Amino acid sequence: MTKYKLIGPITQLISMDGLPLKGALKDEQLTILLNAGILTEGEHIHSIGNYTDLKEVANSLEAEIIELQSEYVCLPGFIDAHTHICFSGSRANDYAMRNSGKTYLEIAKAGGGIWDTVTNTRAASQEELCHGVIKRANYLLKNGITTIEIKSGYGLSIEEELKMLRAIKEANLHLESDLVSTCLAAHMLPKDYDGSRQEYLDEIASKLFPTLKIENLTNRIDAFVEQSAFSKEDIAPYFKKAIEMGFDITVHADQFTAGGSEIAVKVNAVSADHLEASTDTEIKMLAESDVISVALPGASIGLGCDFTPARKILDAGGALAIASDWNPGSAPMGDLLTQACILGTFQKLSNAEVLTGITSRAAAALKLEDRGKLAPRMLADFCLFSTDHFNEILYHQGKLNPAQVWKRGDAVYTE
């Protein structure tokens, strides 16, 4: 079978190539190819351009030609750079209680909160967790998400965290999409841990980190820096050890109170995620750094709190990615495109800013240089939407989903 394929003609192809990583964007900055085609070579893009011109090249290469019969808009495959989709159980009761006016402490006393998910996830087998990841990842794939970051953090012991990360690694072998795992053992101090926060973090760093390397389970370490979890002072030596071992750092930062973004900048983290509580001081600090700011509108919708100050971050010159934070507690929706559209509405983001937030800038939040754009040598990950203009996609606020999803040069979903 030929290793080359030509897909087209495509009414509009939005490449996301050539755009700056940081700062505000206008829609006029987008490169839009009309009557376009994508010529793939195996898993990668060989070239993009005018369909008629590419057809001549394709014929010379004896490429398989996949001729589209209706109007389509093509975007890079979406990247969800922050999820917690390895879990067991439901927190529907938490949601109902929260909307009825119950406080976090009241919900926790009633048996809810993160510890409820920890209890259910610990009770699940690795096989059960793997199956759950596969099911949720395949749902995301149909929505155009071809790369998914997944955190641990509901195990909160060495063996249980390993179980989660092994389940994610196993799931990745059975999926069309790509999974990027992150260790979030520093999610909270376990209720059943007989020791201090520092002792827990020391134990994780000394006993868990080496196994993560040996088994190649992740190269990313995350922590929840918040009053209810770990302070800046708690987490600094933990991150120092992770960096010394060669891990990349990402931080749950400024969700309810400011402070996490400061440590993210100090350790040169890849990203600082949440940022709902960031003030002008934190925004300026982030914008002047290389840290990617990751907005999580799903958590704002789930909790009924303020959105990440995305407009201010962009106007200050920061880099903004948008992710779903899909988790069973604060962000149960798991619909990245809908959430990105809602964030764009409330924060007055251009379509270019929203779309880069779930493609090229999301790739940067995961340090992935081979996706998020449609250009030669990039992975052939893309979505085809059944419409004649890219503005229609965000206009429908998540109701217009891809008609086709392509991953590594193959059509993996067709409606």
pLDDT 10s digits, 371-403:
999 999 999 999 999 999 999 999 999 999 999
Angle at 177 between CA 91 and CA 62, to 5 degrees: 160
Q: How far separated are the first and last CA of the chain, in Å rounded?
A: 25
pLDDT given at position 328: 96
Query: CA 32 to CA 200: how far, in whole Å?
Result: 51
Give me 43's structure tokens.
């898993």
Query: CA 247 to CA 204: how far, in whole Å?
Result: 14
- Reported in sequence order, the residue ranges of 109-194 that DSSP labels E, i.e. its strands, are 145-151, 178-186
pLDDT given at position 105: 66
Question: String of b and e for 284-306 (b: at least 16 CB within 10 Å)?
Answer: bbbbebebbbbbbbbbbbbbeee
pLDDT given at position 278: 98
Is the Cα dihedral 261, 323, 328, 118 positive or negative? negative
pLDDT given at position 106: 86
For the segment(s) 79-365, the CATH number from 3.20.10.10, 3.20.20.140, 3.40.640.10, 2.30.30.40 is 3.20.20.140
The count of other CB atoms within 10 Å of the CB of residue 10 is 22
DSSP-derived 3-state class of residue 85: coil
> Closest Cα partner for 309 from 289, 350, 280, 271?
280
Q: Name which CATH class applies to 4-76+373-414.
A: mainly beta
9: cis peptide before it, omega within 30°? yes
The count of other CB atoms within 10 Å of the CB of residue 109 is 11
What confidence tens digit (pLDDT) does each residue in 123-143 have? 999 999 999 999 999 999 999
Query: CA 381 to CA 369: how far, in whole Å?
Result: 13
Is-above-0.95 flag for pTM? yes
Work out the burial of residue 28: count CB atoms within 10 Å of its CB; fewer than 13 is exposed, 13-18 middle, 19 or more buried. Answer: exposed
Residues in the chain with pLDDT < 70?
A: 1-2, 105
Domain definitions of the chain by residue range: 4-76+373-414, 79-365
Query: Contact 49/36 with Cβ under 8 angstroms?
Result: yes
DSSP-derived 3-state class of residue 148: strand
Is the Cα dihedral 288, 319, 259, 212 positive or negative? negative
* CA Rg value for the chain: 21
Cβ-proximal residues to 28 (8 Å cutoff; 6+ apart), any chain:
none
The torsion region of residue 42 among left (phi > 0), alpha (psi -120 to 50) and beta comes to left
DSSP-derived 3-state class of residue 57: helix
The yes-or-no answer to whether 4-76+373-414 and 79-365 have a common fold is: no
